[in-house]
Amino acid sequence: MPGLIPERFIDELLARIDIVDVVQQRVPLKRAGRDWTACCPFHDERTPSFTVSPAKQFYHCFGCGAHGSAIKFLMEYERLEFPDAVEELAQSVGLAVPHEGGAARPREDHADLYGLLDAAAAFYQRALPDNAAARAYCKKRGLDKDIIERFRIGWAPGGWDALKRALGTSEARLKLLEQAGMLAAGEGGKRYDRFRERLMFPILDRRGRVIAFGGRIISSAPPAREDQEAGSPARTSSVSSAHPAREDQKAGVPARTSQQSPGPKYLNSPETPLFHKGRELFALWQVRQANTKLERLIVVEGYMDVVALHQAGITQAVATLGTATTNEHAELLFRAAPDVFFCFDGDRAGRAAAWRALESVLPRMRDGRQAFFLFLPEGEDPDTLVRKEGRDGFEARLERATPLSEYLYGELARDVNVATLDGRARLAEHALPLLAKLPDGAFRDLMFAELEKRTGFRAADTVPRQPARAARGAASSGSTPRRTLVRSAIAMLLAEPALALHAEPPYPFAALDRPGVALLLELLDVARARPGVNTAILLEHFAGREEASALQKLALTELPGEPEALRAEFLDALRKLGEQTLQQRLDALIRKQSESVLDDAEKSELRELLARKANPAVP
Ligand SMILES: [Zn+2]
């Protein structure tokens, strides 16, 4: 783990750099008096309200309020994390970033590794024009020189040691090649090139350095459907997670694929000190280069799909690297752009991968973020489709993509009959643990509203909301007691003890875990046991107990004067308390369901509670 960057270094760095330079390199600035100005890169505008002050060394936008130091600017503009922004600025002025505690940042140690991987990319690039099949393949795919250059697409020659011979010129370099995942070990420990006869796609980190490779076979015969499914990167892991035996194939161990088979369609570098596939996105760097302002990202499954989309002018396409969408990917995607489109094949494997993606984005669906799901026609992928339909055709498909809410409810409704009460309860049962993952905000509220619309199940207050809870806690610490349902019921009972006769035990709210419930139950018992008691007698019953003064105050509460209205309100309060009890139990079951496993009794209880919630008229 890298240690913390000391504060004094940040001070020194900010003293050494000039924010005007930092901004100017990215956004053209015009002098305006002592300051510099430009159209704001963080919001849409025609007249410049973005200013950079050399004296104060900060930027400020009078339009959208964006402001901060050079570090903040780099974080926002390049979407870097703090340590990377600091690193970037430090490099620009020739400073090395010190780290307190922990190990030094791995960067220095890996300088050789980066250099070697870059040399490997260059080696593959040089080999591409020499291979007729690879050249023909690129031509057939409509890749022009510029796009091949932009993605640094290359060719891994056949044989077993082309790269090894070219770059492994010393024992140290051989070790590095191995460390970088470029060599694989065969039987007897003999090292050979991991990538052979493949079109090579370098995977770049967020600073544009080569950290790994993906290699694609280019067999001219269209690969069998089977092969395609096992090979497309997003697919591989969803398949392999179900069948761990496939893991080997993914890693491209040749012993398994040595016969006629050319191996999986896509082969990736293994995990290395520089490459953690769950944390990287193919082409994110190219996307950032092509888009100063990023409104959307399109996640596709294969590298060739990404390249084809960029070639067609859709320059916001990225791919995950041989894994399904992870939570880290989801975070990375949304930090880069507010709208994320997930593109999948329409077949079963594609649907499964899409569902995994949905689960990973739910906890990140903060307001202002949107996720869409696009399913392609059977047998098509973005590459074939964009070549067939062109940019406009693909854009039109994106426009018709399914929003997350629709996709989620559509999938859940697939196997249930929402025309029946049981079906709606089942739908709610499946939806709740998913909706519980949503962060607080308008989107969450909308999703619950949608659930209510579809099932009649009012769930918005079923799943605990942390911030709302905190707010409630704060309110209760004030001096005036809040008017809760329990308090109201007690106040009404004190004012008119005979109301107790309208409530029959067992009380449905007896198990409710709320302050005051025990007191309410006791009051009901006392009032029922002594018909004809008045307020004063009830109060006297509690004399000398700590609840006494609270009850005194409650007895002074203003209440509806009409006996009819009072009774209706009292019974309504008890009914609502009953509902809260039900919700509390639901909460507990749903929480348990998301953390561990429910036993059969709990499962049927949950289903029954949901059914009762969905149709409160049924007792
Ligand atoms: Zn602005």
CA of 8 from ligand 1 middle (Å) equals: 30
51: β partners:
37, 60
CA of 546 from ligand 1 middle (Å) equals: 58
How far the first Cα of the chain sits from its last, in Å, is 58
Q: Are 387 and 338 in contact, with CB atoms under 8 Å apart?
A: no
Task: Please state the φ and ψ torsions of residue 54, each to the nearest 5 degrees.
Answer: -70, -30
Q: Which two tokens stand for residue 475?
A: 């309110």
**What topology is assigned to 108-217+265-275 in CATH?**
DNA primase DNAg catalytic core, N-terminal domain (3.90.980)
CA of 293 from ligand 1 middle (Å) equals: 12
CA of 447 from ligand 1 middle (Å) equals: 31
Instruction: Give the residue among 221, 232, 218 at the shortest CA–CA distance from 282.
Output: 232
CA of 270 from ligand 1 middle (Å) equals: 42
**Which CATH number applies to 279-410: 3.40.50.280, 3.40.50.620, 3.40.1360.10, 1.10.3720.10?**
3.40.1360.10
DSSP calls for 386-426: HHHHHHHHHHHHHHTPEEHHHHHHHHHHTTS-TTSHHHHHH
**Which CATH number applies to 7-92: 3.40.91.50, 3.90.580.10, 1.10.760.10, 3.40.1710.10?**
3.90.580.10
Q: Give the pLDDT score at 479.
A: 37
CA of 66 from ligand 1 middle (Å) equals: 6
CA of 155 from ligand 1 middle (Å) equals: 44
What stretch(es) of the chain map to CATH 3.40.1360.10? 279-410
Using one digit for the tens of pLDDT, what is the confidence trace for 428-486?
888 988 998 888 778 888 898 888 888 887 765 455 443 333 333 333 333 344 568 88
Q: Which two tokens stand for residue 188?
A: 């007897």
Query: How many residues are there in the chain?
Result: 619
Q: Give the pLDDT score at 560.
A: 67
CA of 36 from ligand 1 middle (Å) equals: 14
| Range 283-295 average pLDDT | 88
404: pLDDT confidence band, cut at 50, 70 and 90?
A: very high
CA of 12 from ligand 1 middle (Å) equals: 28
CA of 27 from ligand 1 middle (Å) equals: 13
CA of 44 from ligand 1 middle (Å) equals: 7
Neighbours of 225 (CB within 10 A): 10
CA of 59 from ligand 1 middle (Å) equals: 10
CA of 171 from ligand 1 middle (Å) equals: 54
343: β partners:
374
Query: Among the listed ranges 12-16, 160-164, 251-255, 297-301, which one has the minimum average pLDDT value?
Result: 251-255
CA of 68 from ligand 1 middle (Å) equals: 12
Superfamily of domain 483-614: DNAb Helicase; Chain A (1.10.860.10)
Counting DSSP H helices and E strands in the chain, the numbers are 28, 17
How many Å apart are CA 531 and CA 348, to the nearest integer? 68
CA of 72 from ligand 1 middle (Å) equals: 14
What stretch(es) of the chain map to CATH 3.90.580.10? 7-92
Q: Which two tokens stand for residue 539?
A: 């109060």
3: pLDDT confidence band, cut at 50, 70 and 90?
A: low
What stretch(es) of the chain map to CATH 3.90.980.10? 108-217+265-275
CA of 314 from ligand 1 middle (Å) equals: 26
How many Å apart are CA 14 and CA 21, to the nearest integer? 12
CA of 297 from ligand 1 middle (Å) equals: 22
CA of 53 from ligand 1 middle (Å) equals: 15
How many Å apart are CA 273 and CA 284, to the nearest integer? 20
| pLDDT at 228 exceeding the cut of 70 | no
Whether the link from the prior residue into 506 is cis, omega within 30° of 0, is yes
CA of 49 from ligand 1 middle (Å) equals: 7
How many Å apart are CA 583 and CA 512, to the nearest integer? 9
Instruction: Give the residue among 352, 206, 351 at the shortest CA–CA distance from 282.
Output: 206
How many Å apart are CA 325 and CA 522, to the nearest integer? 55
Q: Which two tokens stand for residue 427?
A: 């739908």
Q: Mean pLDDT of all residues in the chain?
A: 81
